[in-house]
Each structure stands twice: as C-alpha cells, then as structure tokens.
C-alpha cells in the first residue's frame, strides 16, 4: 500500500501515519522527522534544514524530492509506504507522480485529515511543550499555517482530480480517527478496484 497523509500542521498526520503503518506492515516516512534527525546529527543538510524549519518555511523541492527518492528505494519500502509531510507543494506532487510512474507504482489513497484552524494552534502549542519542537511556538505556527494554505492546501484539489482523495474528520480521540482512516482506506481500495475494472472492460 502506498498512501499519503495530507492535512495542515498539527492535524495528527504523524500520529495516524505511524499507527496505520504498524497495521499495514509498511514504513511511515516523515520528511519532518528525517530533517529533524539530520539537524540533531549536525549534517550539512540538517544545519540548513534547521534554520528553515525554525522559520516555518519549506526546504527547496529538489532537496526534498531527492530525500524521498532515496528513502523509498530502501528495501523496507518495497511493499509500500506511507508518507507524512510529503508532497507539500505542486512541484513535489508532480515529481512524486513521475517517480511512481517510472517505477510502475501508484498511490492507493490520499488521506486528507481535516481539523479546524483554531484547534491546530492549540494542539501545536501543547505539542511544543511536550516534545520540545522549536517550530511549535506561536509565531512559527502562524507562518507554517500560512505556508500550508498557500503551498499545500491546493494539493487537496489536485489529488481529488486523480480520484485518490479521501476526506477524514481529524477531530476526536486518536482511536476514533484511526477507525475513520481504516474505513476510508478500505473505501479507497474499492474505488481503486472499480477503476481498474472499468479500465479492463
């Protein structure tokens, strides 16, 4: 299974991607986690990423696309993978589509986690306190939401056109949201088979 988690920062993508990954037996790949690890290790990429992350901005598409290309080529991703935090721009989405097409793969489901903005700020501020994320402070949170609206939100319509998008209410208990995601993925799978049957007919 290949699935993408879409949704604003603080919508629970990381938590839910990790849970679905455990159930599906595929890795959850988080570009944010990879960049935070690189920053902690003090690699050149990590140092560059840290400044951009702390400002709430995005790394250049080319850097992120290379990171993903290498990661999904790892042996643990041969049966599929879940993406949390990628793609985040139309350039990344197009590069990803091409990457998949070149290797004969396709996205099974794009899970759009919906949470209203007032709740996001509150969630991220709490997360910053618990996890010590330096980009979970009020000023950076506002910038990350602005960047999300400008660069990432348009991908919802983009994936809708490809027929893979499923909207999931991201508010509520973690277990409840996981159940909604399981249902949505099952529905997405049925739609995918219907499409395949239509193509064969």
Applying CB under 6 A, the residues found at the interface with ligand AMP are 9, 31-32, 35, 52-53, 56-59, 64, 85-86, 88, 92, 135, 144
Q: Using alpha carbons only, how large is the chain's radius of gyration in Å? A: 17
Q: Which of 48, 119, 127, 191 is catalytic?
A: 127
Q: CB neighbours (10 Å) of residue 161? A: 8
Q: Which of 48, 119, 133, 151 is catalytic?
A: 133
Tell me which residue has its CB nearest to ligand AMP. Answer: 32
| Residue closer to ligand AMP, measured from CB, 43 or 193 | 43
Distance, in Å, from the CA atom of 164 to the CA atom of 56, rounded to the nearest integer, reads 28
CB of 200 to ligand AMP, least distance (A): 35
| Contact of 2 with 81, CB cutoff 8 Å | yes
In the structure encoding, which two tokens stand for residue 42, read together? Answer: 């003090």
- Would you call 200 a catalytic residue per the annotation? no
Distance, in Å, from the CA atom of 87 to the CA atom of 143, rounded to the nearest integer, reads 18
Cβ partners under 8 Å of residue 52, min gap 6 = 58, 59
CB of 64 to ligand AMP, least distance (A): 4
| Contact of 65 with 41, CB cutoff 8 Å | no
- Would you call 144 a catalytic residue per the annotation? yes
| Residue closer to ligand AMP, measured from CB, 133 or 191 | 133
| Residue closer to ligand AMP, measured from CB, 45 or 192 | 45
CB of 79 to ligand AMP, least distance (A): 23
Q: Which of 50, 71, 123, 144 is catalytic?
A: 144
Cβ partners under 8 Å of residue 74, min gap 6 = none
Q: Which of 36, 88, 123, 180 is catalytic?
A: 88
Residue 79 CA, distance from chain mean position: 18
| Residue closer to ligand AMP, measured from CB, 109 or 147 | 147
For residue 95, give the 3-state DSSP assignment: helix
CB of 189 to ligand AMP, least distance (A): 25
CB of 14 to ligand AMP, least distance (A): 7
| Residue closer to ligand AMP, measured from CB, 16 or 31 | 31
Distance, in Å, from the CA atom of 115 to the CA atom of 117, rounded to the nearest integer, reads 6
Residues taking part in catalysis: 13, 88, 127, 133, 144
């Amino acid at each position: 299974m290949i699935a993408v988690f879409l949704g604003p920062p603080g919508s629970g993508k990381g938590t839910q991607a990790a849970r679905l990954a455990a159930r599906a037996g595929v890795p959850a790949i988080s570009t944010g986690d990879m960049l935070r690890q690189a920053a902690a290790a003090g690699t050149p990429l990590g140092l560059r990423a840290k400044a951009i992350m702390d400002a709430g901005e995005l790394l250049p598409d080319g850097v992120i696309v290379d990171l993903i290309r290498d990661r999904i080529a790892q042996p643990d991703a041969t049966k599929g993978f879940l993406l949390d935090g990628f793609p985040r721009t139309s350039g990344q989405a197009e590069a990803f589509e091409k990457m998949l097409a070149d290797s004969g793969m396709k996205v099974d489901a794009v899970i759009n986690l919906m949470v209203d903005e007032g709740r996001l700020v509150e969630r991220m501020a709490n997360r910053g306190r618990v996890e010590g994320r330096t980009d979970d402070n009020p000023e950076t949170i506002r910038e990350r939401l602005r960047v999300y609206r400008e660069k990432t939100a348009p991908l919802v319509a983009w994936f809708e056109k490809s027929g893979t998008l499923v909207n999931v209410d991201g508010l509520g208990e973690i277990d409840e949201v996981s159940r909604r995601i399981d249902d949505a993925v099952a529905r997405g799978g049925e739609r995918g088979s219907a499409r395949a049957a239509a193509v064969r007919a």
